[in-house]
Structure 1
Amino acid sequence: MNAFEPGGRNEMRMIAATKSGPRLRIRRWFGSLAMVLALSVGAVAAGTGYDLAGGATGAYAATRDDITRVANAEVGYAADANQCNKYASLCDDWCAMFTNWVWRTAGVSPVPDSFVATAVGQWGVARNLFKPRPPNSVGDPQPGDIAVYGAPGSGQGGHVSIVFSVDGGNRITTIDGNYSNRVAKRQIDATTATAGSRDVRISGYVTPPNVTAGGRGAHVVISGMDNALYHEMRLPGGQWTGFQPLNGSASRVSIAAMPDGTAQAVVIGQDGVVYHEGRHANGQWTGFQPIPGNTKAKDVAIAALPDNTSQVAIVGDDDIVHHQGRHANGQWTGFQPIPGNTKAKSVSIAGLPDNTSQILITGDDDVVYHQGRHANGQWTGFQPLTGNTKAKDVTIAGLPDRSSQVVIVGDDDIVYHQGRYPNGQWTGFQPLNGMGTTTPAKAKRVSIAGLPDSTSQILITGLNDDVVYHQLRNPNGQWTGFQPLNGMGTTTPAKATDVAIG
C-alpha cells in the first residue's frame, strides 16, 4: 500500500485495475478533464497573482515565493475519507491535483494538464522544464519546483510535491498533497526518499514556467528619535515602499518575516513591557498587545521558523536572558530563563531551515556569546566567540544553507561581520566599510536579516548622526555598500534610536 494514502484509493489500486481497462480509461479521461478545468475553470486567471487574504490581485509575473507561500498556507488541510478535496472536482489520488492547484493559484501559466503524477514529469519534459536528478545527487531543486517521484511518463504509482526549500547537503523540504490524505510539510533526503505505490525515488524536478526569481521583501521597523515607530519594506527588486507610522512608541524593536507571508514585531514599550503584533499578508496590522505576563525587558529579539512558529528572546529587567515560543496558532509558551541564568546586555535570535535556532548575546562582561537551540528544545550552552570579542550590540540571521551571519558593534564602535558555517566553524570578524569610504563604519545599533535567496541585509544607526543606513550582502560575499534610508515623506535621511530588519 502507498505510504502516502493508507486505507485510501491509492495508486496501487490503479495498477491492480489495469486488467479490467475501464479504471485506466477513467484516469485518462481525468487527465483530459484536468486540461479543460485548467483552461476554463481556473478561479485565478493565468498570470494573475493571488493574495491569500483577499483573492486575485491583478496581472504580474508569478514568483517562486508566491508558489511556496500558497503551498505553505495549505499545510494541514485534509481530504475526506473518499479523497474528495478542494483542489479539483474529483475524488481520487490528489497529489498532482494539489501541485497543479498551487501553481495555478500562485499565478503560474501554463500548468500541467494531468492528475497522474509521472505525467506531470512528462509534461515538463515536453516543454524542456524537467531537470533530471543524477544518481546519488540531489540535483537542482529550487523552491517552487514540482518534485517528481518516478520516471516521467512511466504510468501510475508515482507522486509529486512542491519544493519548499533547499536546506543544504542532500536535504530539501517539500509540501506534499495526499500525504496520508493530508497536506504535509516534510524534510527529506532527496537522494534516497521514495514515494508512491511503486515506492519510487525522485526522478527530477519540473521548473515552473514564466516565473521570476522573486524573493521575498524585507521588513524594516525603526524607533525614531522621539521613539515613535515606523515601518517600511524593501521589495524584492530593491525598491523601498517608504516609511509609514505604526501606532505606539518603543525603545527597542525587532521584526521577523514569517514563511506564510505575514510578519511579527516585538518591541519594548515606554513602560518597559514587551509587546507583540502581527502583520497580515495583505498589509493589515493586528495592533500591539502585551505578551502574556506583562513581562518587562531591556532588549528583545524575534525569529521565524519554517513551521510558522516564532521564537522570542529577551534580556529581562533582571538582566537574565529569557526565551519563549509562539505557536502557529498564536499560543505562547511562557518566558523561561535560558539554562544557566546567564546575564546579558543585548540579545539576538535567528531561526534556521531545520527548525533549530541560534542566539547571540553580549554578556555582562561585554563578551559576545553564542549558543544553539535544537528543534526538540534542548540548548547547547553559551560559548564565547573565538577571541573573546567584546561588543555593544549584536545581531544574527540564518540562511537557507543553515549557515548564519553575525554583525556586531564592537567595543570600539566599529561594525564587524562574520559567518558561521553549518558545521559550526566561524570565519572570523572583519570590519565593514562606511558609506563611500574604506574607513570602517561606526554605529550605535545594528540588525541583520537572512533572505530565502541567500542574500542578507543590514541596518545600522550611525554613531555620530543617528542616520539609518542599509546595505546588502550577496550570496558570493560581496557587499553593496551602506546607503541612507529616507525619512517618511522626505529625501532627508531617517534617524532612529533603534532599528530592525527581518
Structure 2
Amino acid sequence: MTYDFGDGSPTKTETSPTAYATHTYNKPGTYTITETVTDAGGHTATTSTKFTTAAPIPGTLVTVDGGTTPAGSAGLIQSAVTSLPNNSDQLLAATTSGKVELATGSGEGYTWQNWQTLSLPAGVKAKWVGIAGMPNGASQLITISSTGQLWHTVRNANGSWQTSGWGSPAGSTGFVRASITAMPNGSSQLVAITTSGVLMHNIRNANGSWQGWRPLPQPGVKIVDASIAGMPDGSSQILEVTSTGVMKHNLRNANGSWQKQGWGVPSGIGAVSAVSITSSSVFGSAAGTGESVMRIVNAAGAVVYAVRYPDGHWELEYGGTPMVESWGTPANITMTTQRADGKPVTFAVAED
C-alpha cells in the first residue's frame, strides 16, 4: 500500500496487511489523498479522497506541546510565556487593539485563570510583549509600543505590582521586537531588534539599575527575530534569525565575555522564520543540566524542536521532523523555562 498525501511530500509505503499511515500537513488546505494497493501478482488498484485540514482563525493562541489556552485567546498578535519556581506559569499577550493581557496558570499549562487587561502608560498601544519569571517568584514584563518604545514593569511574587508602574529604560526607542530572560542572581537580560535590524543587549541588575543598551554588531546582517535564555551557570544564550532566514546562536559567559567563535550557524535546520530558546532550568533545580531547548518555526511554518547540550553539540529532536499540530502556521512562538516537573510549555499565535 502506497499513500500519496497530495502536498508534495514523499509517499509512504506499508506492507503489513493491517498497515495504516498517518500524515501531518504543514499548512491548512484541501488535499487529495491517493492510496495504491499492489498484490503479490503485481495487480494494482487505486482510490482517492479529499481531506480538508482544520486551522484556527488567525490571531488565535494555540498550544504546541499540549495543555490548554485561557478562554478568549483570540484577537492576538503575539504572546510570551514564563514559568516560576513554584511551577506556575504566566502568559502575556498583545492584542490587535494594542492592549496587554495577562493570564496565570498551573498544571503544566492545563489550568488557566481568565485574561486580565493590564494598565499601560497613557497613549501606549502594545505591539510586542515579553515576560521573565524570576528566582524570587516575581516576574518582569516588557512591551514595545506602536511607536517603537520599550517599557518594563515588575509583578511581585504576591501578585502586586511595583509602585513606580511601567518605566522605559534610557535609549529604549526604535525597537520592533524584544525578549527578556531571568538570571540566577536576580538580574534579567534583554535583547531587542531595532527598526534597521540591529540586535541590542541590555541588563537590568538585581538592584533595579540598568546597564544600558549595547549593540551586538554584525555588519551587513539584518536581524528579524531573536530570543534569549538565562542559564543556571550565569551565562546566557541568544538565538537570532536573519532577514535571509538563517538561524544563528551565540553565548555570553557569566563574566560578561562572549564565546570566542562568535555567532555560529547550527547545521541541518534550514530556513527559519521565528525562534524561541529556554534553559533546562534557570532556577537550579535537579532537572537543570545546563542544556538549552529550542522551538524553531521553519520557512514552511512548521515547528522543529532542537537541543543544545552543555558540550556545545546540537541535536534535532525527532530527527528534525517538523512537529506540526492542527493549528496552522504560527506567526511567532514562545515557551516557558523547562521546570522541575516536566517539559516546557509552548504557545504560538496562528496566522494565515
Normalising by structure 1, report the TM-score.
Answer: 0.50
In the alignment, structure 1 residue 309 sits paired with structure 2 residue 138:
yes
Aligned ranges for residues 287-366 of structure 1 at < 5 Å?
Answer: 287-293=114-120, 296-333=125-162, 334-366=165-197
2:130 alignment partner, SS class:
strand
User: Which of 464, 473, 483 is equivalent to 2:308?
Assistant: 473
Aligned amino acid, residue 375 of structure 1? A
Residues 183-224 of structure 1 deviation map (CA, whole Å, 9 limit, x = unaligned): xxxxxxxxxxxxxxxxxxxxxxxxxxxxxxxxxxxxxxxx96
Give me the whole-angstrom Cα distance separating, in 2, the residues matched to 1:225 and 1:377.
40
Partner of 1:275: 101
- Structure 2 counterpart of 1:273, which letter? K
Query: CA contact under 8 A between 1:321 and 1:342: conserved in structure 2?
Result: yes
The residue correspondences of 1:70-109 to structure 2 (distance < 5 A) are none
Partner in structure 2 of residue 369 of structure 1: 200
Contact 1:232 1:244 in 2 (8 A): no
Partner of 1:6: none
What letter matches 1:499 in structure 2? I
In 1, distance between residues paired with 2:303 and 2:331? 9
How far apart are 1:486 and its partner, in Å? Answer: 3.5
- Equivalent residues, number: 262
> What does residue 227 of structure 2 align with?
395
The one of 458, 466, 470 equivalent to 2:294 is 458
Counterpart for residue 261 of structure 1: 87
CA distance in 2, matches of 1:335, 1:485: 38
- With 360-369 and 474-483 compared, the bigger mean Cα shift is at 474-483
1:487 is matched with which residue: 312, 317, 325? 325
Report the secondary structure of 2:245's partner residue: coil
Residue 345 of structure 1 aligns with an amino acid whose one-letter code is V
Question: Residues 23-422 of structure 1: matches in 2 within 5 Å?
Answer: 226-233=58-65, 242=66, 244-247=68-71, 248-249=73-74, 250-281=76-107, 283-293=110-120, 296-333=125-162, 334-388=165-219, 390-422=222-254
Q: Which of 1 and 2 has greater Rg?
A: 1
Letter of the 1:417 counterpart: H
Instruction: Give the counterpart letter for 1:479 in structure 2.
Output: W
Q: Is the 8 A contact 1:225 1:496 kept in 2?
A: no
Quote the offset at 1:245 in angstroms.
4.5
Query: Secondary structure of the residue that 2:206 maps to in structure 1?
Result: coil
C-alpha RMSD of matched pairs (Å): 2.1
- The Cα shift of 1:494 comes to 5.4
Find the residue that maps to 1:336 and give its secondary structure.
coil
Moved more, 288-297 or 260-269: 288-297
Return the offset for 1:231: 2.4
Q: CA deviation at 1:243?
A: 5.6
Cα distance, 1:401–1:483 mapped onto 2, change above 3 Å? farther
- Cα distance between partner residues in 1 of 2:248 and 2:257: 17
Aligned to 2:38: none
Alpha-carbon distance in structure 2 between the residues aligned to 1:361 and 1:224: 29
Distance apart, 1:228 and its partner CA: 1.4
> Does 2:270 align with 1:444?
no
Code of the residue aligned with 1:352 in structure 2: it is M
Cα separation, 2, equivalents of 1:386 and 1:423: 20
Deviations 1:390-449 (A, max 9, x none): 3001110000001001000012221111111001111211112334xxxxx222211111
- Alignment TM-score, normalising by the size of structure 2: 0.70
What SS does the aligned partner of 1:461 have?
strand
Note the C-alpha offset of 1:232: 4.8
Q: CA deviation at 1:266?
A: 0.6
* Unpaired stretches in structure 2, ≥5 consecutive residues: 1-54, 282-287, 337-352
Kindly indicate whether the alpha-carbon contact (under 8 Å) linking 2:70 and 2:113 is maintained by their aligned counterparts in 1. no
Q: 1:426: which partner in 2? A: 258
- Unaligned ranges ≥5, structure 1: 1-222, 234-241, 436-440
Letter in 2 for 1:461: V
Shift, 1:458, TM fit: 1.1
| Cross-structure match for 2:10 | none
What is the Cα deviation at residue 386 of structure 1? 4.1
Quick check: which one's helix share is greater? 1
For 2:277 and 2:332, the matched residues in 1 are separated by: 13
Give the conservation status (yes or no) of the 8 Å contact 1:225–1:495: no
| Residue 451 to residue 225, structure 1, CA distance change in 2 (3 Å) | farther
Aligned-pair identity (%): 27
